[in-house]
Amino acid sequence: MKLLSLVLLLFASIAFALLGCSDNSAVPVSPTEQSVGVPGPLAKSTETPFAGMMWQDLGNPGFVVDAGVIKHIDGKTTFKGVKQMVVCEANFPAGTTDLFSGTAVVTMDGYAGDNGEGVFYGKLTLTPTNGGDGVWELAWHAKGTYGPLPNPVPGPNGGRFGLYGWTLPLKEEGPGKGGNLTGMHVFMENNIYLTPDFRFWTGAYTGYVKSH
């Protein structure tokens, strides 16, 4: 009987200790601790879709900023440091500000193989008209293929294309810096069409601006 009483007393002591340790409701939590991991109103972001076109600024005598180095070696045409002026036109939903139409400089590196496949990558630095002195700095990359082109190729330079050429399905993304673009990021897909001799190109894109 005495042993049983000791066992019951031991269990009661353990239960009391566990209840005391698990009762955290009385411990005050600072506002800073409460906010950790709980997004507030300022953490919300919006996504504004847009679509448009871009093309070489052929009307600008200085549209070739840097001809770069282009070589044909071992069945590949390689590009390094090619820079050109670009015109971008975008359509945004009614009631929103067009933050993408403007002028840009595109850089291109990569190669195009005689087998009809290639790899291309580079940067797009865009100064939008409504950017308030801000700029977009986008990185892009694509695997290109040679074959039939849309007929007609879209855009002001479309008349320079034949039935065949290069198609580059670009993935582009990058931040806005300064002006009205601070805290924003662009994501887009851009179908670029190149003439077989790589002299002319045009692109049609869709994407969205993400703002915090």
Q: What phi and psi, each to the nearest 5 degrees, are found at residue 42?
A: -70, -15
Across the chain, where does the E strand assignment appear?
46-56, 64-66, 69-73, 76-91, 102-113, 117-128, 135-148, 164-177, 184-194, 201-211
pLDDT tens digit sequence for 74-98: 899 999 999 999 999 999 999 999 9
**Beta carbons of 149 and 157 less than 8 angstroms apart:** no
Same domain membership, residue 9 and residue 91? no
Same domain membership, residue 92 and residue 146? yes
Same domain membership, residue 167 and residue 68? yes
Same domain membership, residue 81 and residue 18? no
pTM of the entire predicted model: 0.77
Same domain membership, residue 31 and residue 122? no
**What are 71's two structure tokens?**
């070589």
pLDDT tens digit sequence for 94-111: 999 999 999 999 999 999
Higher pLDDT, 199 or 25: 199
pLDDT at 59: 87
Q: Count CA atoms closer than 13 A to 18's CA, side-chain side.
A: 6
Same domain membership, residue 177 and residue 99? yes
Q: In CATH, what number is assigned to the domain containing residue 184?
A: 2.40.160
Q: Is the dihedral of CA 99, 208, 95, 156 positive or negative?
A: positive
Same domain membership, residue 12 and residue 90? no
pLDDT at 17: 41
pLDDT tens digit sequence for 114-152: 999 999 999 999 999 999 999 999 999 999 999 999 999
Between CA 50 and CA 45 the distance in angstroms is 16
Residue-averaged pLDDT of the chain: 84
Helix (H, G, I), strand (E, B) or coil at 36: coil
Same domain membership, residue 50 and residue 31? no
139 located within any domain: yes
40 located within any domain: no
Tell me the residue range of the domain where 91 lies: 46-211
Same domain membership, residue 78 and residue 113? yes
Higher pLDDT, 28 or 78: 78
Tally the domains of the chain: 2
171 located within any domain: yes
Same domain membership, residue 10 and residue 103? no
96 located within any domain: yes
98 located within any domain: yes
41 located within any domain: no
pLDDT at 44: 80
pLDDT at 12: 41
Same domain membership, residue 188 and residue 104? yes
63 located within any domain: yes
Question: Running DSSP on this structure, what letter comes out for residue 157?
Answer: T
Same domain membership, residue 31 and residue 52? no
Between CA 48 and CA 59 the distance in angstroms is 31
pLDDT at 177: 97
